């Protein structure tokens, strides 16, 4: 999880403001903390804060951050605690002052191995965050081994395994790069002489970019100032490297099911279209079992819509979500999660009485939220609640940046589908089959499905963690 943004303009001084707008559009990717680093010419300036983007960047703060190149980050912690020290972007201080910054999305699976190698070479870390590791790696090879930054990033891609989409800032140049598997999304947009990078296209839409494309897995894009001959102003010069030869991308399919905003375009297709197809596939499993289709808002809205359209059954928003409570799935501790379920959803009064309800959710992780919701609907008078899930059972943990819990906490790792149905109290329960999920995305062999089938694209030997039952891809 997490969302990143980068913006480059040589004419305007409002890069931090543009980055703030992009972070705002990506708030769903992380709500614990956020930050923006901006170039002030000969040094960088950083502002970071716990909490939401809206509160972190009032007008007076943005005025202080005036500058033409900036990067930003919204964070949900998957490595390291939710404290300000782990908040990104990371500024890397050198003898010349704060002149490098980085923001990244994803999880590095060989973190310990690479961090220890750098420690032996005399590099010190102030946090346990992946972003800091990426930044210190680049700066070490650039400053102490005289490598060009692009070459240091190339080396990083060969040595550091796992998921990372990142933006790296110097006082004059902006770099964007993505791991060779392309686990996490990352796009680039251009409007005139302005260049923007973001985790999701919805953030670039806000800037009304003229053109947009994905950063390829293993690609580095560099935006540098280039002075026009006979003129005093600069133009952005775009350089891109040939992507690393990668045997196979492995985009996170969970981004399409749950995590990304439905209005985003990523991995070559529109998220809302994939979700509607998932709903239609689920509908094909059933005869006439319900009077109304109700989503668990918001991530299941389009899946439920696809189901309802395919079956010609009314789609109704019978559950109302309080949008000012954070996502249940991404709140770390159990107490907060339990409380927030009650605070977050409320059924429409008299709506469910006597109805056979098809309740649609995107996934079941621990089962605690959906169990409460099924009880809530029955308490509100529903005659039957048939639960349909837009993904296969989540049985394995993710090591590539989505905060699924330890396998022992995953309900599908401990119970059969029948047992889950009984525990949850639904009248029936069906999950989407993995081969049907694969039919809902255009290039099914370019996705990672490891949390469903345990086939981890990055070999276990590089993870430094004990992986559960599944296999590595290709074995």
Q: In angstroms, what is the minimal distance from the CB of 254 to ligand SF4?
A: 4
Among 34, 223, 252, 303, binds ligand SF4 (CB under 6 A): 252
Among 187, 253, 365, 424, binds ligand SF4 (CB under 6 A): 253
Q: In angstroms, what is the minimal distance from the CB of 366 to ligand SF4?
A: 15
Among 204, 437, 451, 463, binds ligand SF4 (CB under 6 A): 451
CA-CA distance, 318 to 217, in Å (whole number)? 41
Q: One symbol per residue from 351 to 370: x for binding ligand SF4 (CB under 6 A), - otherwise; what is it?
A: --------------------
Q: Considering only 7-15, 66-74, 96-104, 447-455, which stretch makes contact with ligand SF4 by CB under 6 A?
A: 447-455
Q: In angstroms, what is the minimal distance from the CB of 430 to ligand SF4?
A: 20
Residue 2 known to be catalytic = yes
Q: How many residues line the site for ligand SF4 (CB under 6 A)?
A: 11
Q: In the complex with ligand SF4, which residue's Cβ is closer, 252 or 313? A: 252
Among 90, 254, 351, 431, binds ligand SF4 (CB under 6 A): 254
Q: Considering only 35-43, 57-65, 128-136, 252-260, which stretch makes contact with ligand SF4 by CB under 6 A?
A: 252-260
In three-state form (DSSP H/G/I as H, E/B as E, the rest C), the secondary structure along the chain is CCEEEEEECCCCCEHHHHHHHHHHHCHHHCCCEEEEEEECCCCEEEEEEECCHHHHCCHHHHHHCCECEEEEEEECCCCCCCCHHHCCCEEEEECCEEEEEEEEECCECCHHHHHHHHHHCCCCCCCCCHHHHHHHHHHHHHHHCCCCHHHHHHHHHHHCCECCEEEEECCCCEEEEECCCCCCCCEEEEECCEEEEECCHHHHHHCCCCEEEECCCCCEEEEEEEECCCCCCEEEEEEECCCCCCCCCCEEHHHHHHHCCCCCEECCEEHHHHHHHHHHHHHCCCCCCCCEEEECCCCCHHHHHHHHHHHCCCECCCEEECCCCCCCCCCCCHHHHHHHHHHHEEECCCCCCCCEEEEEECCCCCCHHHHHHHHHHHHCCCCEEEEEECCCCCCCCCCCCCCCCCHHHCHHHHCCHHHHHHHHCCCEEEECCHHHHHHHCCCHHHEECHHHHCCECCCHHHCCCCCCCCCECCC
| 108 binding ligand SF4? (CB under 6 A) | no
Contact 37, 45 (CB under 8 A): yes
For residue 95, which phi and psi values (nearest 5 degrees)? -60, -25
Q: In angstroms, what is the minimal distance from the CB of 237 to ligand SF4?
A: 34
| 449 binding ligand SF4? (CB under 6 A) | yes
Q: Which of 42, 276, 244 is nearest to 161 (CA)?
A: 244
Q: Considering only 24-32, 146-154, 247-255, 332-340, which stretch makes contact with ligand SF4 by CB under 6 A?
A: 247-255
Q: In angstroms, what is the minimal distance from the CB of 163 to ligand SF4?
A: 7
Q: In angstroms, what is the minimal distance from the CB of 67 to ligand SF4?
A: 34
| 164 binding ligand SF4? (CB under 6 A) | no
For residue 138 the two structure tokens come to 């680049």
Q: In the complex with ligand SF4, which residue's Cβ is closer, 8 or 183? A: 183
Q: In angstroms, what is the minimal distance from the CB of 75 to ligand SF4?
A: 17
- Residues 121-160 binding ligand SF4 (CB under 6 A) are none
Q: In angstroms, what is the minimal distance from the CB of 243 to ligand SF4?
A: 19
Q: Considering only 10-18, 210-218, 261-269, 444-452, which stretch makes contact with ligand SF4 by CB under 6 A?
A: 444-452
Catalytic residue among 2, 34, 398, 451: 2
Contact 390, 277 (CB under 8 A): no
Q: In the complex with ligand SF4, which residue's Cβ is closer, 57 or 449? A: 449
Q: In the complex with ligand SF4, which residue's Cβ is closer, 254 or 307? A: 254
Q: In the complex with ligand SF4, which residue's Cβ is closer, 76 or 449? A: 449
Q: In the complex with ligand SF4, which residue's Cβ is closer, 26 or 170? A: 26
- Residues 170-189 binding ligand SF4 (CB under 6 A) are 183
- Residues 371-410 binding ligand SF4 (CB under 6 A) are 398, 400, 402
CA-CA distance, 121 to 90, in Å (whole number)? 20
Give me the sign of the Cα torsion angle 287, 427, 260, 255. Answer: negative
Q: In the complex with ligand SF4, which residue's Cβ is closer, 296 or 448? A: 448
Q: In the complex with ligand SF4, which residue's Cβ is closer, 410 or 451? A: 451
Which residues belong to the active site? 2
In the complex, which residues of this chain contact ligand SF4 (CB under 6 A)? 183, 252-254, 398, 400, 402, 448-451
């Amino acid at each position: 999880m997490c969302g990143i943004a980068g913006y480059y303009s040589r004419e305007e001084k409002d890069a931090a403001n543009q980055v703030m707008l992009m972070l705002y559009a990506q708030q769903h990717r992380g709500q614990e903390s956020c930050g923006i680093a901006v170039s002030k010419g000969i040094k960088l300036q950083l502002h970071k804060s716990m909490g939401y983007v809206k509160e972190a960047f009032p007008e007076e703060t943005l005025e202080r951050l005036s500058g033409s190149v900036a990067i930003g980050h919204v964070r949900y912690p998957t490595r390291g605690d939710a404290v300000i020290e782990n908040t990104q972007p990371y500024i890397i201080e050198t003898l010349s002052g704060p002149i490098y910054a980085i923001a990244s999305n994803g999880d590095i699976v060989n973190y310990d191995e690479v961090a220890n190698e750098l420690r032996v070479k005399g590099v010190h870390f102030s946090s346990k965050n992946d972003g800091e590791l990426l930044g210190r790696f680049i700066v070490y090879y650039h400053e102490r081994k005289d490598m060009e930054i692009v070459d240091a990033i190339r080396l990083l891609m060969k040595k550091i395994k796992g998921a990372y989409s990142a933006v790296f800032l110097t006082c004059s140049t902006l770099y964007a790069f993505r791991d060779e598997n392309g686990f996490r999304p990352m796009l680039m947009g251009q409007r005139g002489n302005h260049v923007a990078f973001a985790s999701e296209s919805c953030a670039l839409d806000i800037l009304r970019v003229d053109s947009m494309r994905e950063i390829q897995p293993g690609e580095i894009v560099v935006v540098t100032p280039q002075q026009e001959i006979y003129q005093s102003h600069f133009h952005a010069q775009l350089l891109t490297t040939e992507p690393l030869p990668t045997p196979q991308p492995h985009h996170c399919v969970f981004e399409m099911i749950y995590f990304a905003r439905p209005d985003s375009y990523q991995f070559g297709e529109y998220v809302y279209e994939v979700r509607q197809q998932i709903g239609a596939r689920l509908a094909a499993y059933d005869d006439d079992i319900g009077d109304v289709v109700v989503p668990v808002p918001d991530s299941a809205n389009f899946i439920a819509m696809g189901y309802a359209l395919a079956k010609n059954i009314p789609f109704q928003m019978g559950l109302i979500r309080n949008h000012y409570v954070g996502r249940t799935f991404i709140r770390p501790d159990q107490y907060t999660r339990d409380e927030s379920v009650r605070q977050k959803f409320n059924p429409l009064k008299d709506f469910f009485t006597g109805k056979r309800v098809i309740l649609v959710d995107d996934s079941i992780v621990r089962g605690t939220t959906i169990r409460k919701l099924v009880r809530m609907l029955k308490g509100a008078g529903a005659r039957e609640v048939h639960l349909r899930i837009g993904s296969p059972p989540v049985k394995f943990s993710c090591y590539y940046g989505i905060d699924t819990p330890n396998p022992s906490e995953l309900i599908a790792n401990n119970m059969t589908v029948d047992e889950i149905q009984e525990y949850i109290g639904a009248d029936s329960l069906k999950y989407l089959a993995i081969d049907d999920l694969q039919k809902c995305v255009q290039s099914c062999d370019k996705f990672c499905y490891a949390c469903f089938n345990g086939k981890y694209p990055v070999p276990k030997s590089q993870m430094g963690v004990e992986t559960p039952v599944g296999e590595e891809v290709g074995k």
